[in-house]
Amino acid sequence: MVAEANGSTMNSQQADAVIIGAGMGGLCAAARLAAAGLDTIVLERSPHLGGRCSHRERDGFRVTTGAIMIPMGERSAIREAFDAVGARMDMVETTGRMRYRLAHGDYDLPARGGGLYGMLEFALGGDAQRAAELFGHFREALFETIPADDLSFGTWLARHTDSAEVRGLLHGFCAALMGTNPHEIPAGEFFRFLRYSSRGSRFGLAAQGNGVLMETLAAAIGEHGGIVRRSTRCQAIELRDGRAAAVLVRGADGAPERIAADFIVSNVGPDRTVELAGGASCFDEGYLQRLRTRSHAAPIIHYSFVTDAPLIEGFTGCLVFGNTSNLIYLEIPSLIS
């Protein structure tokens, strides 16, 4: 117990690690720490786990809170976290079921690979010479000199092609796979994603819904000694000698509590983390400048329809649009899972 300024007492405890936020990132971090033997506590303000990788029941249907396709390959950070605590990923694989649509037709991503060159050639109307030249710039950025992060991918692309079809197709690609627009993602980050995260990647849908997937991971964390606390709001990160030392929280009963820890991981976003830690004066100015210049809100509106017939006859994959302004993709999970 510790005394507060008003004379009341506050419950206090010690942990090796505290994770703020039980979204996919927070739970995966907790799984790795718990598997390594650290006394780990996860704090989640909502009664639900998973954040934007969860679901809600609506009229008998399970509707996602955000994420649809989830990385499930052996080398993905998510799969590694599940494996670390022995949690099963109950997935229906959708790898390779990608169709890209432009005004002049559709392009199905080949299962054998080589999809990037094929996408460029398709967007350029079959012009193999122009496609090869543009693909050469992509290869240089991928394997020789990755562009700087102060350049957006949209700006990089405009330097190498004036094709509206290529820009449209890659706009759909960025939005569908990264949840952002080409002018918002740094060019270096885009190519690092292609080089390290997308090659050989596998994706799928949670067979029983994202919420069940996250509950499975939380249960496995518990089996390794970790604690996942719901309806617990983090009010502040306490600093000592320039480093995070404890978190101040209020649980469902409203009682204040202090949890000291050797390691504190925030999964609530950079802006909220700065606020919890006491404001801008507690952070390096260079870091804050990057936040101010590179932080972009990326709202995505997801519509779920119930229909009595498939929207696309004979197609059970994900249709990515490169010929629209705001529509990113269409997926039909009920035909897959």
Region of 33 (left: φ > 0; alpha: ψ -120 to 50; beta: rest) is alpha
pLDDT greater at residue 197 or residue 275: 275
* Least confident window among 120-124, 168-172, 181-185, 279-283: 279-283
Nearest in space to 293 (alpha carbons), one of 141, 151, 154, 145: 151
Which residues partner with 249 through β-bridges?
A: 234, 257
Q: Which two tokens stand for residue 101?
A: 């649509």
Which pLDDT score, from 0 to 100, does residue 66 have?
86
- Three-state DSSP class for 259? strand
Indicate whether 6 pLDDT > 70: no
Which pLDDT score, from 0 to 100, does residue 287 have?
86
pLDDT band with cut points at 50, 70 and 90 for residue 29: very high
pLDDT greater at residue 291 or residue 216: 216
Query: Whole-angstrom Cα distance, residue 193 to residue 188?
Result: 9
Query: Whole-angstrom Cα distance, residue 165 to residue 324?
Result: 11
Which pLDDT score, from 0 to 100, does residue 317 have?
78
Percent of all residues in the chain with a pLDDT value above 70, rounded to a whole number: 92
pLDDT band with cut points at 50, 70 and 90 for residue 2: low
173-226 pLDDT, tens digit each: 888 878 788 998 999 999 998 887 665 578 888 999 999 999 999 999 999 999
User: Contact, 64 vs 15, CB < 8 A?
Assistant: no
Percent of all residues in the chain with a pLDDT value above 90, rounded to a whole number: 57
Over residues 6-24, the mean pLDDT reads 87
Average pLDDT in the chain: 89
DSSP for 19-79? Answer: EE--BHHHHHHHHHHHHTT--EEEE-SSSSSBTTS-EEEETTEEEESS--SEE-STTSHHH
Over residues 324-328, the mean pLDDT reads 83
Query: Whole-angstrom Cα distance, residue 102 to residue 320?
Result: 9
pLDDT band with cut points at 50, 70 and 90 for residue 336: low
Which pLDDT score, from 0 to 100, does residue 103 have?
93
298-310 pLDDT, tens digit each: 677 878 888 888 7
pLDDT band with cut points at 50, 70 and 90 for residue 84: very high
Other CB atoms closer than 10 Å to residue 51's CB: what's the count? 22
pLDDT band with cut points at 50, 70 and 90 for residue 69: confident
Which pLDDT score, from 0 to 100, does residue 222 have?
98
pLDDT band with cut points at 50, 70 and 90 for residue 113: low
Which pLDDT score, from 0 to 100, does residue 53 have?
94
- Three-state DSSP class for 9? strand
pLDDT band with cut points at 50, 70 and 90 for residue 23: very high
Which pLDDT score, from 0 to 100, does residue 264 have?
97
* pTM over 0.75, yes/no: yes
Query: By CB neighbour count within 10 A (0-12 exposed, 13-18 middle, 19+ buried), where does 120 fall?
Result: buried
What's 175's DSSP letter? H
Nearest in space to 253 (alpha carbons), one of 276, 230, 275, 273: 230
pLDDT band with cut points at 50, 70 and 90 for residue 114: low
Over residues 238-267, the mean pLDDT reads 93
Other CB atoms closer than 10 Å to residue 302's CB: what's the count? 11
Which pLDDT score, from 0 to 100, does residue 1 have?
53
127-166 pLDDT, tens digit each: 999 999 999 999 999 999 999 988 999 999 999 999 999 9
Query: Whole-angstrom Cα distance, residue 246 to residue 265?
Result: 11
